Structure 1
Amino acid sequence: MSSIVIKNAAIVTMNAQRDIVEGELWIRDGVIAAIRPGNAQAENPAAPERFPQQDLPIEPSFRADQVIDARGRLIIPGIIQGHIHLCQTLFRGQADDLELLDWLKLRIWPLEGAHDAESLYTSARLGIGEMFRCGTTAIIDMATVHHTESVFQAIVDSGMRALSGKCMMDWGQDVPATLMEKREASIRESVDLLEKWHGKGDGRLRYAFAPRFAVSCSEELLLEVGDQARRHGVMIHTHASENRGEIALVQEERKMRNVSYFDHLGMADENLILAHCIWLDEDELDLIERRRIKVAHCPSCNLKLGSGIAPIPEMRRRNIAVSIGADGAPCNNNLDPFTEMRTAALIQKALHGPTAMPAQQVFELATLGGAAVMGMADRIGSLEVGKRADLAMIDLHKLHCAPLEGADVYAQLVYQARGSDVVLTMVDGQIVYEEGKLTTIDETTLLRDASQAINRVARRAGIVR
């Protein structure tokens, strides 16, 4: 049995009452065992205070193996990134100032197709390390077509919590031969990966089928994906309605808009995660609400690619589950969730006025919203007794946050904080980043590997750099 107590903390619980507790947080075997107000002594974990609910049973003789002093710092639920491509982190700076379909066809697809197993492992570690430094503890990831086990291995080795799956592509114009699959082979490999990796890393890695989008998947493939996902009880993660050109292609080929098409195929339910959802009509919004489809909002990516602004306030009015994600590094170009929160708030205010997307609501999307979209709201997303110990510690005693007196904590986190203000990140009770140092990833080796890998992959892709 391992245990940690974080004392003298300001704990932003994100529980139903949105309590902010000044006190202690106890962790036992990766689970939050107690949250207590005041300065109860670490050597007396059986103190009578109970907040905000009954603690898990703690024996009087129970002692903490590690005590962390969080004086002057915030403890927040770990940030959950709702849409990421770890396979693309290596391509940061390789595909700028392009619209979506050109970005894919001219740069990203050739680069993805040129990955080898080692370069993909490096790309995944690079993304995970950056996100750990910024307080991210869980991700919804879409790998590329080949070498998916490299991404899974990086997730397990690092300690990240992830919903991830092999990208599936068996259709479409201008898809390079290095990514084009046969439908039967794509399904077979996906199921094999699910059976081998689902639940690995002490349950932190969960599998999701990941057909890229309707433009690159045959109808037969999508029908089989829906059937397999239901058979295995797992989620489906894909893209939809990101770009007007993409929507036009789907309408031309399938005679329907994206969400309506997925509904027609029987895929539209609470286990479907759609990234982007910018250009939706009223019927599609109704479908997402009625079928309880989940949405991943990627504000910075959508701005950088000139794709548009998703109707998030309307989705929240309809109680649609929405998460926030950075998307891939080459369409962002960073994976800082604090940047995404700030951007998510500001772009809606430009359209709907300054009261749209208030800071607390945005922070909810990055924590509770991400947990709901992952299908893990009972395990992560808030700091409550019985939930997994996924959390981050924030130091706001910086010039860009001062003065702190009288400021709303959610406004501080959304409008002022940066990823660089994170001083500790923990997943399942394991410290993966602390005071400037990753604990599960060797940064010096990783930076060397990244430089070598991008040169190798770019040459193989025939891209002049």
Structure 2
Amino acid sequence: MSSTLIKNALIVTMNPDRQILRGSLLVENDRITAIDSSSHAADRVIDAQGQVVIPGLIQTHVHLCQTLFRGLADDMLLMDWLQTRIWPLEAAHDPASIYYSALLGIGELFRGGTTAIIDMETVHHTECAFQAIVDAGIRAMSGKCMMNCGPAGVGNLLEQTSTSLQQSVDLLEKWHGAGEGRLLYAFSPRFAVSCSEEMLIQVRNLARHYNVAVHTHASENQDEIAIVQAERGMRNVVYFDHLGMTGTNLILAHCIWLDSTEIEILRRSGTRVVHCPSSNLKLGSGIASIPQMLEQGVHVSIGADGAPCNNNLDQFMEMRTAALIQKPLHGPTAMPAWQTFELATLGGAVAMGLEQQIGSLEVGKKADLAMINLNNLHCAPVDDTNIYSQLIYQARSSDVTLTMVDGQIVYENGRLTSIDETNLMKQCSEAIQRVRRRAGI
């Protein structure tokens, strides 16, 4: 049994009583076994004097396969962004470029205190991203992107329905539960525009059979909604509900352009919504009505989306942006700091179906956590009575000093411990040159 004691910390528990405690947190193997003011024997003792320990941040919509494309698709509308940049680049990936793109994203996530993600890969070479997830030690729900129809630009991402379904099942049966349970599979149809009704129905049935999630995009852009309306005769969320896909195992990224009927469907069904504020601003897609959804009982969490539409995977930036963009619309009391932090921790855990395991610091839960140094000029003076405001409005990813997943330290004091950063940078530089040549970009 290995053990780590973090002592003299300010601990933001996010437990049911939302306690903020000063004391120690003991980790044994992959679990938290004590949170108190006692001194415990441990293999390693970390003095966290002046630092804050928080639950590991959870991002519920990312595309690790796109991390290599950072800076290659800026200042564009969604459909142009997809058709002229992202789809050709994804189609040009090779197994090694997928692996290192995923590893690059994971390294950035660890440096910013993110310990768990819901990820969507591209159509090909998904097993290489899964290998990176397992090798690096992040907790992830991920799946192969599914695309059997769509507009121009799909190229060799276009699949036969039967092939897409079979490959997805094969990946699920091989990888679901890999990495000592850290990797979970989710069926990942890209969006209604690129998936036939036959495929979506089969995805619904398979997800129920295997008891896994479905992760897709919905209502991100008004042009996208117009296409679905013209082809399927319904708006996105109504269409998914019509197909019997809505429910607690459906994760919908974006959900910007919803009407009252769709919000009610999301509330009634318990469908999970992922808010991606920076991506939505950068692509000019709009601002999701998050306060309205929360007020009506819709479940919401937060994600950065992919690096080409952000251009980073920094959950501190996402939390700050999520809180700020609602205030001009709904007043300064909208999206208070405590609520925003909740969406990025417990909210993410619920979206992953792991609220009994992660999202808060409690005895018996998994040891997924981050340590934050708020003793920097941009945070001073530190106010323990208003710690949520400190974390949302002042802290940055660069303030993270330690990240732990499943009881294993994956980042500490400026160094990734599960990733060779020097080799990663070299491999990424070579990989993006190959991919750009093949894509003609």
TM-score bucket (shorter structure): over 0.9
TM-superposed deviation, 1:350: 1.2
Q: For 2:297 and 2:383, locate their aligned partners in 1 and report how far apart those are by CA, in whole Å.
A: 34
Whether the 8 Å CA contact 2:193–2:227 is kept in 1: the answer is: yes
Amino acid at match of 1:257: R
> Residues 167-206 of structure 1 correspond to what in structure 2 (within 5 A)?
167-206=145-184
The amino acid of 2:27's aligned partner reads I
Q: In the alignment, what sits opposite 1:339? A: 317
- Give the 3-state SS of the residue equivalent to 2:345 in structure 1: helix
Does the 8 Å contact 2:338/2:389 carry over to 1? yes
Is residue 462 from structure 1 mapped to residue 440 from structure 2 by the alignment?
A: yes
Count of paired positions: 441
Contact kept in structure 1, 2:7 and 2:25, CA below 8 Å: yes
User: Helix, strand or coil for the counterpart of 1:408?
Assistant: helix
Alignment map for 1:305-316 (pairs within 5 Å): 305-316=283-294
Alignment correspondent of 1:281: 259
Match of 1:433 in 2: 411
Instruction: Give distance in 2, aligned partners of 1:299 and 1:407.
Output: 27
Structure-to-structure mapping, 1:103-114, within 5 angstroms: 103-114=81-92
Q: Could you tell me the TM-score, scaled by structure 1's length?
A: 0.94
Query: Which deviations, in whole Å up to 9, do the C-alpha atoms of 1:389-412 show, x marking residues without a partner?
Result: 000000011111111146610000
In structure 1, how many angstroms separate the alpha carbons of the residues matched to 2:155 and 2:51? 51
Aligned to 1:367: 345
| Mapping 1:22-33, distance limit 5 Å | 22-33=22-33
What are the equivalent positions in structure 2 for 1:127-138 lying under 5 Å apart?
127-138=105-116
- Alpha-carbon distance in 2 for matches of 1:460, 1:152: 23
**Residue ranges of structure 2 left out of the alignment (5+ in a row):** none
Residue matched to 1:212: 190
From 336, 339, 346, the counterpart of 1:358: 336
In the alignment, which of 129, 132, 156 is matched to residue 154 of structure 1?
132
Partner of residue 80, structure 2: 102
**Aligned partner of residue 342 in structure 2, secondary structure:** helix
- Paired amino acid for 1:74: V
Q: Who is 1:42 aligned against?
A: 40
Please list the CA deviations of residues 57-100 of structure 1 after superposition, one character each: whole Å capped at 9, or x if unmatched.
xxxxxxx1111111110000000001000000000000000010
| Aligned counterparts of 2:9 and 2:338: Cα–Cα separation in 1 | 20
Provide runs of 4+ in structure 1 moved above 3 Å. none
Contact kept? 2:348, 2:359, Cα under 8 Å: yes
Deviation, 1:192, is 0.3
Partner of 1:322, secondary structure, is strand
- The whole-number CA distance in structure 1 between the counterparts of 2:384 and 2:29 is 36
Tell me, in whole angstroms, the C-alpha distance in 2 between the residues paired with 1:79 and 1:263: 30
Does the residue aligned with 1:178 lie in a helix, a strand or coil?
helix
1:21 counterpart letter in structure 2: L
SS of alignment partner, residue 142 of structure 2: strand
Q: Secondary structure at the match of 2:403?
A: strand
Cα displacement string for residues 292-336 of structure 1 (whole angstroms, at most 9, x for unaligned residues):
000110000000000000111111112221110000000000111
Q: Are 1:378 and 2:376 counterparts?
A: no
What's the counterpart of residue 250 of structure 2? Answer: 272
Measured against aligned partners, the alpha-carbon deviations of 1:34-57 in whole angstroms (never above 9, x if no partner) come to 1003xx2234xxxxxxxxxxxxxx
Which residues of 2 match residues 4-15 of structure 1 at below 5 A? 4-15=4-15
> What code does the residue aligned with 1:247 have?
I
Matched position secondary structure for 1:267 = coil
Look up the equivalent residue of 2:352 and give its one-letter code.
Answer: M
CA contact (8 A) 2:383 2:390 kept: no
1:93-126 Cα distance to aligned partner (Å, 9 max, x none)? 0000001000000000000000000000010000
The answer to whether the Cα contact below 8 Å between 2:87 and 2:155 also exists between their aligned partners in 1 is: no
**CA shift in 2, pair 1:248/1:90, >3 Å:** same
Counterpart amino acid of residue 434 in structure 2: R
**Equivalent of 1:301 in 272, 279, 290:** 279
1:166 and 2:153 equivalent? no
Whole-angstrom CA distance in 2 between matches of 1:34 and 1:178: 52
Letter in 2 for 1:32: I
The residue matched to 2:382 in structure 1 has which SS? coil
1:124 aligned residue: 102
State the superposition RMSD in angstroms.
0.8
* Structure of higher CA gyration radius: 1
SS in 1 for 2:157: coil
SS in 1 for 2:155: coil
C-alpha displacement of 1:195: 0.2
The one-letter amino acid paired with 1:410 is Y
Unaligned runs of 5+ in 1: 44-63
Q: Is the 8 A contact 2:263 2:298 kept in 1?
A: no
Aligned partners of 2:154, 2:87: CA distance in 1, in Å?
7
Give the aligned residue type for 1:452: E
SS in 2 for 1:341: helix
Question: Cα distance 1:127–1:74, how it changes in 2: closer, same or farther (>3 A)?
Answer: same
1:408 maps to 2:386: yes
Task: Quote the Cα distance in structure 1 between the aligned partners of 2:189 and 2:119.
Answer: 12
Look up the match of 1:81.
59
Letter in 2 for 1:114: A
Q: State the alpha-carbon separation in 2 of the partners of residues 362 and 295 from structure 1.
A: 14
Secondary structure of the residue that 1:200 maps to in structure 2?
A: coil
Q: Matched residues in 1 for 2:102 and 2:290: separation?
A: 29
